Amino acid sequence: MTHWPFNLRSVFSKSTAGLTLAALTLLVNNGWAQTSNVASTWPTKPVRFIVPFASGGANDLLARAAAEGASKVLGQPVIIENKPGAGGTLGTMLGIKSAPDGYTFLISAAGVISNTLIKKSAPYKDNELVPVVMIGLAPSIIVTSAKSKHNTLKDFIDNAKKGQGAHFATAGTGSTPHFVAEMMNLKYGTNFIPVPYKSGSESSTAVMGGQVDGTSEASIISLPHIQPGGKFRALATTWTQRMSVAPDLPTTAELGYPDVQIAHWAGIHAPVGVPPEIMDKMAAAVDAAMKNPAISERLKSMGIEPIGGTRPQFNDFVNAERTKLGAIIRASGMKED
């Protein structure tokens, strides 16, 4: 047993309590002042965005738009580093393990939530990342082949209620298309059979070729094939409102299926320990970028909706998504491959 060479009671005696409190207060205030000073001068060098996906997809495009706009606000370059692999886990782990100094952020998507809910083998936990700001989203569009017999979402759903069911392409377990299929199965009695592919591009090709009956893919992937003469027939968007670039395409809610609502979103998370003041400055910079008319209109023309907002708003969104996706995973018995 260790014996201290002084009486602990004397340290906190009336005669020294005021001095001790003053010393503690000084330490706390000094720490706060240092943090505040760092935040006020941040950034003093380039900032890095880790994108856990290959270039060219919706998340990559949103990351580059955010980086472009934020760099102008912050006065420092924002560099994109694509680190695809293991369904986004490789890049996510790099983000988690980065120094919490405000110079490395993770471009996040739904997988940062669903992976921890589905995969017991996931190498990270939800509390190892802190939500910073939403960048934007690519509404999902339910599509079939242009040659399909299904002309409406009702046709598609009614057919999937039959015993034989219908094959629904996904970008893997826990992907947004997978959740769309399970939402319809759980809420509307369909028998959609999820068929996993390595990516949204591969699953879309399978729909075009008639290997599967349909899918629900990000607008940026779907829209080029929905134009007149294209290989897709668009049935509905699963977003909460009609898309800016496709105002004639109804939402699932408008067609009587309000429980099928989800989108491909991209946001920014930080490793634990980044000063809140720095995260607030990054959130404000990205929000300004999404309100920049040149950036906003460019994204909308591709079927991407710029969002932005504040840290609390994104935190609320992430928590709501975790609750919603978790309920679907449990009810459907969704498991890792």
Global pTM reads 0.84
Q: What is the pLDDT of residues 80-95, one digit of tens each?
A: 999 998 878 999 999 9
- With cut-offs at 50, 70 and 90, classify the pLDDT of residue 2: very low
Q: Report the pLDDT value the prediction gives residue 31, as an integer from 0 to 100.
A: 52
Q: State the chain's mean pLDDT as an integer.
A: 89
Q: How many helices (H) and strands (E) does the chain have?
A: 12, 10
Same fold, 47-137+264-332 and 139-237: yes
Q: Is the pLDDT of residue 36 over 70?
A: no
Q: Is the pLDDT of residue 10 over 50?
A: no
Q: Report the pLDDT value the prediction gives residue 38, as an integer from 0 to 100.
A: 74
Identify the CATH homologous superfamily for domain 47-137+264-332. Bordetella uptake gene, domain 1 (3.40.190.150)
C-alpha 250 chain-centroid distance: 24
Q: How many CB atoms lie within 10 A of CB 265?
A: 25
Q: Is the pLDDT of residue 146 over 80?
A: yes
Q: Note the residue count of the chain.
A: 337
Q: Report the pLDDT value the prediction gives residue 30, as an integer from 0 to 100.
A: 55
Taking the C-alpha atoms of residue 124 and residue 210, their distance in angstroms, rounded to an integer, is: 38
Domain coordinates in residue numbering, the chain = 47-137+264-332, 139-237
CATH of 139-237, one of 3.40.50.150, 3.40.190.10, 3.40.630.30, 3.40.50.920: 3.40.190.10
